Amino acid sequence: MKKFNLSFVKSSISNYFNLLRELKSDKFMKTFSIDFISILFFSLLATIYGFYLNKISANLLETWDLTNLNINIFEKSAEELELFSNDLQFFLIFFLIGLTVIIISGLVIYTYSRYRIWKELSPTKKHKHYFLKWIVMVLSLGLIIISFLLLLSSLIVMIREFLLLFYYSEIYYYVAQLISSFIGLYLMVMFINVMFAIKFSFNQSYKVWDSIGKGFGLIRNNLKKSLKICLFEWLTLILLTVIIFLPLNYFFTLSELVSYLIKLIIFVLILAWYRIVFVKHIVKKEIHHKKE
């Protein structure tokens, strides 16, 4: 029994380091670069939009005393009311048009970056109207993601409340919260891999609903392997949270920009690693198994 346990531990450590070796691959760095540049570019657009929106709103508040507008509106002349109406109209138009541009830009940037990433990981022939099909895929996945997050948040609360049925104290409440959060985090990691499976399948066929079914099937056919890999990814995420994210939040005084960039780099690195591990350790093994 002791030999078995020791062998299992050695095998698990060896498998984990095999996954970490994927950090050295060329495809990992390429997909990381695509992700990082696209997120950084969108963040820049959103920051510029936010800067000018705040500037316009601050100018509006400075020019017109909006806090007392309901009191002195009848004291304003027709010319002043017209000027106020024009300023307010300009603000609303800028807000709506700018928000529309940001949403469309975000969709285009995210969609094109997904196309480039999965083209890099799993090269296929370019399909006709490929970009429009990727947009439909991204929007469909958006609905799945929203549904999953709603279910996950409800599940975390249910697990916590279930644990609190047996005993309650202030310390145990935080323990129950921690346990439910850990379970939720593992399910989130598993869900991320399901999304990878769907995108991989879509990159092969460009059929939205067919790809969703095949993606779930890919995970189901490799469930044991997927659960094991997700466990390693989950443990890595917890370690990084303890070693990097918590100290950044509580022990270091950094500017918001520097803190954001560090967290963004680590977050994108984790996602790129998850993605390359999925392709090389689940997809390729599945393809190899089918060939045999």
CA 229 remoteness from chain centre: 19
User: Could you state, in order of their start, the residue ranges of all structural domains in the chain?
Assistant: 28-121, 128-292
Structure tokens at 104: 């469309």
Give the model's confidence band at 130: pLDDT under 50 very low, under 70 low, under 90 confident, else very high.
confident
Mean pLDDT in residue range 86-96: 89
Neighbours of 180 (CB within 10 A): 20
* pLDDT at res. 71: 46
pLDDT in tens, 220-264: 999 988 999 999 999 999 988 888 877 777 777 777 778 888 888
Place of tokens 């691959």: 25
| Residue of 172, 184, 175, 196 whose CA lies nearest to 114 | 196
The DSSP output letter for 77 is -
| C-alpha dist (Å) from residue 148 to 62, 70, 79, 152, 188 | 44, 44, 53, 6, 9
**Residue 79: helix, strand or coil by DSSP?**
helix
* pLDDT at res. 139: 94
CA 100 to CA 126: how far, in whole Å? Answer: 29
CA quadruple 165, 169, 173, 178: dihedral sign: negative
Query: What share of the chain has pLDDT > 90, as a percent?
Result: 46
Structure tokens at 283: 């997809």
In this predicted structure, the answer to whether residue 8 has a pLDDT above a threshold of 80 is: no
Spatial neighbors of 240 by CB under 8 A, at least 6 apart, are 266, 270
pLDDT in tens, 265-291: 989 999 999 999 998 888 865 544 444
Mean pLDDT in residue range 56-63: 78
Which carries the bigger pLDDT value, residue 38 or residue 287?
Answer: 38
